[in-house]
Structure 1
Amino acid sequence: MMNLIPVFVDYLTIRQVHEGGKLPVINGGRVLRIDTDGEIEYTVDTRQGLEGSFDSRVEVRCDGHQVEFSGNISRYGRQDNLFGFTFADSIQRINELLKSLDLPPFSSGKLYKFADSGWTWTGARVSRIDITCNYVTGSMIDSEALLRNMAGHHIGRQKGSLSVNGATVEYGRGSKYVYGKLYCKTTELKKHRSKKSGQHVSDEVIEFCQHLGVIREEFTLKSRFLLQNGLAYLGAITDSLLIEVYMNRTQLQRLEQVKYEDFNDLPKHIRSTYVSWKYGFPLNLNERTFYRHRKALLSYGIDISIPNNVQTMPIKVKTIELAALTAPDWYIKKYA
């Protein structure tokens, strides 16, 4: 494990009110609520989508006083976001975008102490931050095995839930506090490239992820979490604090070794039978196939005629060695 963890930011939602106003009005339209008498109760400006190169997109809104940004700044204007940016760099990139729209930058403001609420910043407020880190498992087989293993772990009261395709483990879906997930980056990139917005993802990057078995651990820090942990204001947030938050929630950094049963040692035609027997699922085999598979598995010390409801009978155990992944030089030169 590395001492310096390469944690970077994906998605950000941030806003700031500027006294005096008179800023350019930017929105994607206006929604009006009208009462039964035909009077306008209120109006809401929707966010304006900004299209970047490589089919990337973020959203900006300004009503003349308040400026708001929301989106994945690590992806904006880039072919992919396999390696993103620190929080400080993300804010710099967002402010460069605001400048191109003649809008003022997000700033920390000043720090004041109030008797009833303690120390408070006056600048930009943050309501969502996605923090993430990439890992090398060694191969696609190892990454899939790791995800199966992690599906049985908990983060606090949240137990992992494995997706149908076995490529994602989720923790706390629907939570208003923190939502976490682990997923296979190769699968995600391939799925993304199958859509129009992802056609720019290069074969080189996908092959890199596939060869190394890259997985990503990601946490969406929502408004309630940020407020309760003193991270709701731009002036209070540093990259070191976000790394600390990540380290307190990560499951992967707590695992020096991850062991799993290597199903690859079994012939392909009997793997599914073994897995079904091991976890107590119906085998759904006709009599002839049942006895053929039983005979094959007996050579591994496994008897599927005996229900596996008390003890497991593991075959070869393999150890996955995890390593946090930093961007290689070739990626930085070509894509960053």
Structure 2
Amino acid sequence: MDWFIDRLTVHQEYPEGGLPVVGKHGILRHDIATGERLSDTVNSRQHEGSYSSSVQIRCTGSSVTVSGNPSRFNRSDNLWGFTTIEQCMQVYNQILAEYDLPPFARCTGVWHGQSPDGKRARMISDGAVIRHIDWTRNHAVGQGREHAFLRGASTLTIGRGLQPHLYPNGATVDWGTHRLRVRGQGSSYRYDKLYIKAHDLETHRDKRLKGASREEITYYDRLIEYCKDCGIVREEQSKKAPFLKKHLTLAFYGLTSEQDFRPHLTDIETALKRLEVNHVTYETIAEQLIAKGICTSSQSANATESYALKWLHGTPLDRSKSQYHVHRGRLLQLGLDISMPHDISRLPPQVRSSEVIDLKPAVMPSWYRLPRVAQLKAA
């Protein structure tokens, strides 16, 4: 399976209670008039790892929740990560052990739980339940083609009419129900996006590499160059609690598999099959003059280009000056005769290349460091 897990939220109930309370703050609510205890809650605690990685952990005494990115915990990057739910659970269980909490257990069955009158019966189990999961994979579109590819993708709807949104920097396009969308989150049901991975790595570089060794910095920079050379575009699909609640077979750890998610990860792929994106690269007149050896310096090439631009805009040129004849001689070698009135229909094209972008699965380099559960020790 070419997908891997980028984010995971897991919850498990312990009706018998007795677990140690873990969190940042505890809030107790009581009735001032009667002194009756109404409720108590615990906020999540941030469990820190290396390279500015962390997971959120919370235990109320009778329930445990862990949320984060197991593929990046204690790693500077997650260009590739864990491909199975079981691997992610092993990372979370290592962290739970640090707080003397029991590991997340596999579900052995699912039952109808008690619900308030008029409410739909909820499903319960004896093990851990997945409340949020992000599936991710990498595409290669070719060096320098990422922005053109995303502009093309931003013209497509996916699923049942989800509208695209191209970010102002052109580095991300996402899809969500606009009525429900919160920036950076999509809808409360699902969130799908494509983004330029090199840009993402560069954006977080300083934070992730603070205090890192020279070897790790060199490795991280090598990853950035790899992403640029291949034109890596990351596809990410978030399946949130309402989605998992609707598709109950996906929510219960031990009763679901990675392959069960596959039919629900095809919307972007299906949309992209309708898309043909052309990548066009242009040369300026100055670049052509230098490339053909007509000019040997950027200064002289820029001067001739300036003359050509005046001609293109209809500015009268003084033919009595010697530089006119110098620039005309250079431009004639490009097929531009500035002694003739400008005719746009006869202007030679300045396109250096125009080709269809070929979307391919990214190939993991041999030197890439995959995550290993045994090395992921809780901080």
Which residue is equivalent to 2:256? 237
TM-score in terms of structure 2 length: 0.70
Larger displacement relative to structure 2 (81-90 or 36-45): 36-45
- Distance apart, 1:222 and its partner CA: 0.7
Which residue is equivalent to 1:52? 49
Q: 1:31 to 1:299 in 2, by over 3 A?
A: farther
Alignment partners' CA distance in 2, 1:109 and 1:41: 31
1:43-75 Cα deviation digits (max 9, x unpaired) = 220011111112211111112221110111111
Which residue is equivalent to 1:249? 267
- Distance apart, 1:114 and its partner CA: 5.3
Larger displacement relative to structure 2 (325-334 or 5-14): 325-334
Which residue is equivalent to 1:77? 74
Which residue is equivalent to 2:167? 163
For structure 2, the 5+ residue unaligned runs are 114-119, 287-308, 316-341
- Distance apart, 1:93 and its partner CA: 1.5
Alignment partners' CA distance in 2, 1:37 and 1:120: 36
2:90 pairs, out of 69, 89, 92, with: 92
Alignment partners' CA distance in 2, 1:91 and 1:110: 16
**1:88/1:238 contact within 8 Å kept:** no
1:9-62 Cα deviation digits (max 9, x unpaired) = 111111101242222221111134466659564322001111111221111111
**2:166/2:174 contact within 8 Å kept:** yes
2:365 pairs, out of 310, 316, 328, with: 328
Larger of the two Rg values belongs to structure: 2
Alignment partners' CA distance in 2, 1:113 and 1:38: 37
Which residue is equivalent to 2:242? 224
1:144 pairs, out of 142, 147, 150, with: 147
Larger displacement relative to structure 2 (212-221 or 198-207): 198-207
3-state SS of 1:235 partner: coil
Asked if residue 265 in structure 1 is aligned to residue 282 in structure 2, the reply is yes
Q: 1:261 to 1:110 in 2, by over 3 A?
A: closer
Which runs of structure 2 are paired with 1:20-35 in the superposition (5 Å)? Answer: 20-33=16-29
1:296-317 Cα deviation digits (max 9, x unpaired) = 7862579xxxxxxxxxxx9964
Asked if residue 13 in structure 1 is aligned to residue 35 in structure 2, the reply is no
3-state SS of 1:84 partner: coil
Alignment partners' CA distance in 1, 2:122 and 2:106: 17
Structure 2 counterpart of 1:159, which letter?
A: Q
TM-score in terms of structure 1 length: 0.78
Which runs of structure 2 are paired with 1:192-203 in the superposition (5 Å)? Answer: 192-194=204-206, 196-199=207-210, 202-203=220-221
Alignment partners' CA distance in 2, 1:134 and 1:207: 15
Which residue is equivalent to 2:201? 189
Counting aligned pairs with the same residue, the percent is 30
Q: 1:298 to 1:66 in 2, by over 3 A?
A: farther
3-state SS of 1:83 partner: coil
Larger displacement relative to structure 2 (96-105 or 72-81): 96-105
Q: 1:243 to 1:334 in 2, by over 3 A?
A: closer
**1:121/1:235 contact within 8 Å kept:** no
Alignment partners' CA distance in 1, 2:354 and 2:24: 56
For structure 1, the 5+ residue unaligned runs are 270-286, 303-313
- Distance apart, 1:176 and its partner CA: 1.2
- Distance apart, 1:119 and its partner CA: 8.3
Structure 1 counterpart of 2:43, which letter?
A: T
Which residue is equivalent to 1:319? 356
Q: 1:328 to 1:261 in 2, by over 3 A?
A: closer
**1:6/1:326 contact within 8 Å kept:** no
Question: How many residues of Structure 1 are paired with residues of Structure 2 in the alignment?
Answer: 301
